[in-house]
Structure 1
Amino acid sequence: MTVLDETYTLSNGVEIPKLGLGTWFIDDDRAAEAVRTAVEIGYRNIDTAQAYGNERGVGQGARTAAVPREQLFVSTKLAAEIKDYDEAVASIDESLQKLGLEYIDLMLIHSPQPWDDFRGGDYVEGNRAAWRALEEAHQTGKIRSIGVSNFQQQDLGNLLESATVVPHVNQLLVHAGNTPSELLDYCEAKQILVEAYSPIAHGAILDNAVVKAMAERYGVSVPQLCIRYTLQLDTVSLPKTANPDHMRSNAEVDFEISGDDMEALQGLRDVDYGEHTVFPVYSGK
Structure 2
Amino acid sequence: MPLQYFKLQNGNKIPAISIFGTGTQWFKTDESQFNSELTNQISKVLEIPGVVHLDAAEIYRTYPELGAALKNSTKPRDEIWITDKFSRIHDDPIQALDYSLSKLGVEYVDLYLLHSPFTPKPNADGSHTYDLVKTWKQLEELVRAGKTRNIGVSNFGVEDLEKILEIAEIRPQVNQIEYNAFLQNQTPGIYDFAQKHQILLEAYSPLSPLSVEDKSGEFFQYVQSLASKYSTDSGIILLRWVYQRGVLPVTTSSKFERVQQSNDKIWEIELTEEEVNKISKLGEEHETVRKYWKPFYDQYN
Question: TM-score, normalised on structure 2?
Answer: 0.82
Structure 1 equivalent of residue 31 of structure 2: none
2:96 to 88, 91, 95: 91
> How far does residue 265 in structure 1 lie from its aligned partner after superposition?
1.8
Give the AA of the match of 2:82.
V
> How far does residue 184 in structure 1 lie from its aligned partner after superposition?
2.1
Question: TM-score, normalised on structure 1?
Answer: 0.86
Question: Larger Rg: 1 or 2?
Answer: 2
Specify the SS of the correspondent of 2:180: coil
- Counterpart check, 1:265 vs 2:279: yes
- Confirm or deny: 8 A CA contact 1:80 1:115 kept in the other structure: yes
Indicate the larger mover: 144-153 or 244-253. 244-253
> How far does residue 205 in structure 1 lie from its aligned partner after superposition?
4.9
Give the AA of the match of 1:248.
Q
Unaligned runs of 5+ in 1: none
Give the AA of the match of 2:134.
A
2:141 to 136, 142, 159: 136
Structure 2 equivalent of residue 146 of structure 1: 151
- Confirm or deny: 8 A CA contact 2:242 2:249 kept in the other structure: yes
Structure 2 equivalent of residue 227 of structure 1: 239
- Counterpart check, 1:40 vs 2:54: no
Specify the SS of the correspondent of 2:26: coil
CA separation in 2, counterparts of 1:206 and 1:106? 35
Per-residue deviation, residues 9-67 of structure 1 (Å, max 9, x unmatched): 22222221111122212265233222221122346100011111102211322332241
1:116–1:147 distance in 2 versus 1, CA, 3 Å: same
What value does the CA root-mean-square deviation take over the aligned residues? Answer: 2.6
- Confirm or deny: 8 A CA contact 2:56 2:62 kept in the other structure: yes
> How far does residue 145 in structure 1 lie from its aligned partner after superposition?
0.5
CA separation in 2, counterparts of 1:15 and 1:282? 34
Structure 2 equivalent of residue 114 of structure 1: 119
> How far does residue 260 in structure 1 lie from its aligned partner after superposition?
2.2
Per-residue deviation, residues 85-127 of structure 1 (Å, max 9, x unmatched): x63321121111121211111110000112456xx9573x611
CA separation in 1, counterparts of 2:112 and 2:71? 18
Residues paired across the two proteins, number: 274
1:198–1:67 distance in 2 versus 1, CA, 3 Å: same
- Confirm or deny: 8 A CA contact 1:111 1:150 kept in the other structure: yes
Q: How does 1:23-62 map to 2 (within 5 A)?
A: 23-24=22-23, 25-26=25-26, 28-29=34-35, 30-42=37-49, 44-62=52-70
- Counterpart check, 1:161 vs 2:166: yes
Give the AA of the match of 1:147.
G
Specify the SS of the correspondent of 2:184: coil
Moved runs in structure 1, 4+ residues, more than 4 A? 270-273
CA separation in 1, counterparts of 2:76 and 2:94? 28
Give the AA of the match of 1:11.
Q
Specify the SS of the correspondent of 2:117: coil
Structure 2 equivalent of residue 17 of structure 1: 15
Specify the SS of the correspondent of 1:58: helix
Structure 2 equivalent of residue 105 of structure 1: 110
> How far does residue 219 in structure 1 lie from its aligned partner after superposition?
2.7
- Confirm or deny: 8 A CA contact 2:151 2:173 kept in the other structure: yes
Specify the SS of the correspondent of 1:40: coil
Structure 1 equivalent of residue 72 of structure 2: 64
Give the AA of the match of 1:195.
E
Give the AA of the match of 1:187.
A
1:116–1:219 distance in 2 versus 1, CA, 3 Å: farther
User: Identity of paired residues, percent?
Assistant: 26
> How far does residue 72 in structure 1 lie from its aligned partner after superposition?
0.8
Per-residue deviation, residues 201-228 of structure 1 (Å, max 9, x unmatched): 1852585342353333433212111111
- Confirm or deny: 8 A CA contact 2:58 2:89 kept in the other structure: no
1:52–1:202 distance in 2 versus 1, CA, 3 Å: farther
> How far does residue 158 in structure 1 lie from its aligned partner after superposition?
1.2
